[in-house]
Chains A and B, each alone.
Chain A
């Protein structure tokens, strides 16, 4: 597959929008924590927020879409790990605990 890379951006407004989104998502996660206190669904929503925030930083701040595929994939993998683990431990916590018992 041919991957074409564009020249890096010189505009500040996408960075400002990203920063605002990160602040709003942070505050939203705190509000969700209050509303969904103790619910398993809180883990799913928090997992989604973690993934969105990580992706925003990778794409807008690090400019991962223009980066070498190795860097892009490392970032994608790292960002995906926690949301997946959060959802799995929320719904399959006891099984996971059994597997990890010495």
Chain B
């Protein structure tokens, strides 16, 4: 069995022989738990799809593809902005980093707004959680993702407050990078969910 050896020090900005930890160890425990939770949900999706292939092919036709696409573009764009915030902070450009983070927050806030309009659209089409197996799985997976996104938005607000208070520097930006890692992981999960419900017809 191979032992997992993490570097002992808390500051992870300098690369070591084992590689660096983006952000901090705590956030990666959280991200691993998030991955595990969604892996279970993905298995539920694949089992349901294997049992009811027609329901899944027809169900995807009834959802708003525009909503799914808008959410995807919002997620990848906010992820890009937050990655820029980390890179500019690393380069010592604190003010630019702050602006990128703010832009990431504004775009991220578009997600719950788009989701609200999507649910309204669904209800107007008579689609709810009891409309069939496809929609039950769809609501369960996408609401779960929405919850994780809201945690991420709260995290962005916290990091933004610390950023405004001068809590980060080119030498110490672990908190900002930890938030960025969580947000990228949440973005990655959405990029998997998107084809499940909006592309595979």
Contacts and interface: CB of A to CB of B under 8 A. Distances in A.
Interface of A: 2-3, 5-12, 15-16, 18-19, 22-23, 26-27, 29-30, 32-33, 37-38, 42-43, 46, 49-50, 53-54, 57-58, 60-63, 66-72, 74, 78-79, 81-82, 85-86, 89, 93-94, 96-97, 100-101
Nearest to B68: A30
Contact of B76 (A26, A50, A71): A26
B15 A66 contact: yes
Interface stretch (B109-117, B119-127, B156-164, B189-197): B189-197
B181 interface: yes
Contact of B73 (A26, A70, A78): A26
Contacts of A42: 199-201
Nearest to B187: A57
Given A58-B188, A100-B47, A10 B19 contact: no
Interface residues of B, number: 53
Say whether chain B's binding surface is mostly helix, strand, loop, or mixed. Answer: helix
B50 A94 contact: yes
A50 B191 contact: yes
Contact of A97 (B50, B84, B194, B195): B50
Given A3-B17, A5-B16, A29 B199 contact: yes
B77 interface: yes
Given A8-B20, A11-B87, 9 more contacts: A8-B87, A26-B73, A26-B191, A30-B65, A57-B187, A67-B19, A74-B35, A97-B47, A101-B51
Contacts of A10: 87, 90-91
Contacts of A7: 15
